[in-house]
Amino acid sequence: MGDFIIEGGRALRGSLQVQGAKNSVLPILAATILHNGTSTLHNCPRLRDVDASMRILRHLGCRAEWEGDALVVDAASLTRCDVPDHLMREMRSSVIFLGAVLSRCGRSELSMPGGCELGPRPIDLHLSSLRQLGAVIREGGGRLHCEAPEMRGRELTLSLPSVGATENAILAACGCEGTTVIFNAAREPEIADLQTFLCAMGHKVQGAGSSTITVEGRSPTHDVEHTVIPDRIVAATYLAAVAGSGGEVELRGVDYRQLSTVTAALHEAGCQIHSTGNAIWLRSTGDLRAIRPVRTAPYPGFPTDAQAVLMAALLRSKGATVFVENIFENRYRHVDELCRMGADIRVEGRVAVVCGVERLRGAAVEATDLRGGAAMVVAALSAEGESRISAVHHIQRGYADILGDLRQLGARAREE
């Protein structure tokens, strides 16, 4: 795997179709296990994390193959209920298979998940919910041994609106006797997309998008086709790239309502933005101004996944912008790398202050995680000279073809 080489200082112009959502397709791939048959997914992005999920499905005995632009999973031949350590370590969201395998098999064995190092992200909320539904879970040696001989629906209240815990509870509840009601559920659009998929399969799930979700368990299922929603974080990344570099872009196939906090911040910074139907149009001179404090929060608040790319867009803004990270403790790992390009960022705990500089310069930097790596791409596009970004496997976990998309907008970007 090579490095990304990006030559900055060029305005970006053009139109892009936004890829399918990584954070939507991964729980949906886990959910395909719930049906003893075939699921066909359209608008599924070709990502490293998707490849990892396909390897897990194949290990479990399923057939998971690309057929043209569609990803087809046949779970009729599922024969195993364990996921080995080397597959679990590839991505944090691999834990989502726990609820699905329990629903289908009544037992599961897997190790603790891997993924980006963003500080503590305990899965205790996942395990607590599954235990309340009747699962018996033993932890030891870095592995989880789970059995669920009699899972029954009940009322669950999450102490935090965790996306992953909400999804795991939904998938487990599909295999329960009776009705499960999940209170304080996460409200992200990706959970609503999971509900759409499950309902198309035959399950009875209601309320996704609100804080209360109801699941009626053990419904008969059938083969299903589903189109994955567009990736709002990829859209936010490209909007940030054009905002910081200057230019004009139209993003097609994206729900502007899901990006309202991001577009509001970019508008405040000086960008012109219009939304029509399923498209967002943005124009920027590249001369931005500082904005009011940005505080990450669960949806519909400002998304933590967009914090780094917005920060990168504002590196040359006039004034100082305060960022407060309320979701993950270690989400500023990209700051030191951005400072290698000449950024002026001061961090204390969960607070980062971005003081705009007159210019950025190209530099050799390393992607620290998925969204931090995307931030380096955004910064490189507005820097003078050439930047080399290494460890790009992090970026490729969430962006199907970020360099190809940027070249469509006129960027000089390549991999070598």
Q: What is the pLDDT of residues 282-322, one digit of tens each?
A: 999 999 999 999 999 999 999 999 999 999 999 999 999 99
**Can you read off the two tokens belonging to residue 289?**
């101004």
389 phi and psi, to 5 degrees? -110, 120
Q: What is the pLDDT of residues 208-251, one digit of tens each?
A: 999 999 999 999 999 999 999 999 999 999 999 999 999 999 99
Question: Which runs of E-coded beta strand occur in 203-278?
Answer: 204-206, 212-216, 224-227, 247-252, 272-276
What span, in angstroms and rounded, lies between the C-alpha atoms of 32 and 72?
Answer: 10
Longest dimension (CA), the chain: 64
For the chain, the distance separating the N- and C-terminal CA atoms, rounded to the nearest angstrom, is 8
In one-letter notation, the amino acid at residue 233 is I
Nearest to 294, CA basis, from 268, 316, 318, 317: 268
What is the residue-level pLDDT of the chain in tens, covering all 416 positions? 699 999 999 999 999 999 999 999 999 999 999 999 999 999 999 999 999 999 999 999 999 999 998 999 999 999 999 988 888 887 767 889 999 999 999 999 888 765 444 344 468 899 999 999 999 998 888 788 899 888 999 999 999 999 999 999 999 999 999 999 999 999 999 999 999 999 999 999 999 999 999 999 999 999 999 999 999 999 999 999 999 999 999 999 999 999 999 999 999 999 999 998 899 999 999 999 999 999 999 999 999 999 999 999 999 999 999 999 999 888 899 999 999 999 999 999 999 999 999 999 999 999 999 999 999 999 999 999 999 999 999 999 999 999 999 999 999 999 99
The alpha carbon of residue 181 and the mean position of all alpha carbons in its chain are separated, in whole angstroms, by 25
What span, in angstroms and rounded, lies between the C-alpha atoms of 348 and 6?
Answer: 30
Find the catalytic residue in 44, 62, 116, 176: 116
CB 151 within 8 A of CB 177: yes
Burial of 316 (C-beta count, 10 Å sphere; 0-12/13-18/19+) = buried
Question: 3-state DSSP call for residue 162?
Answer: coil
What span, in angstroms and rounded, lies between the C-alpha atoms of 284 and 288?
Answer: 8
Active site residue 116: yes
Length of the chain: 416
pTM for the model? 0.95
